[in-house]
Amino acid sequence: MLPPIDEIVSNFEFLDEWDDRHQYLMELGRKLPPMPEEAHSEANRVRGCASQVWLETRVDRSGPEPRLNFLGDSDAHITKGVVAVLIAFFDGRTARDAREADALALFRRLGLSEHLTAQRSNGARAMMERIRADAERVAVAA
């Protein structure tokens, strides 16, 4: 089970060396709940990532505002950790809040912006854009 985003941020801030942060990122990826095989579909595949990445957006309409929940997976360990960080950041937010949340600022705070390869950074942006687009679609429909 993924820790809350505040705990992830605290743990990243506690780790001084990038190698330790790198290991923690992979550990977060291993904590992602398993994604059902049928969710590894073309509809859930995130385009723009060098690795294979899947994100499934689920909408909880039980409250006054729809909330987004995510499942994710990747075939690459580091990328799977990036997926985990984004899910921890966005999961459970209202569609309106997810649409406006600044995941790039989070990545800068965690040091991921400066330590991820250009391909992984582009993939992370593609994931963020996908989540924001899904949030926009849900917010407009609400």
Whole-number Å distance between alpha carbons of 82 and 75: 12
Is 49 marked active-site?
yes
Q: Which residues pair with 54 in a beta bridge?
A: 45, 73
Nearest to residue 127, comparing CAs of 92, 80, 66, 94? 80
CA atoms within 13 A on the CB side of 3: 13
Q: Find the catalytic residue in 49, 76, 83, 98.
A: 49
> Which positions are annotated as active-site residues?
49
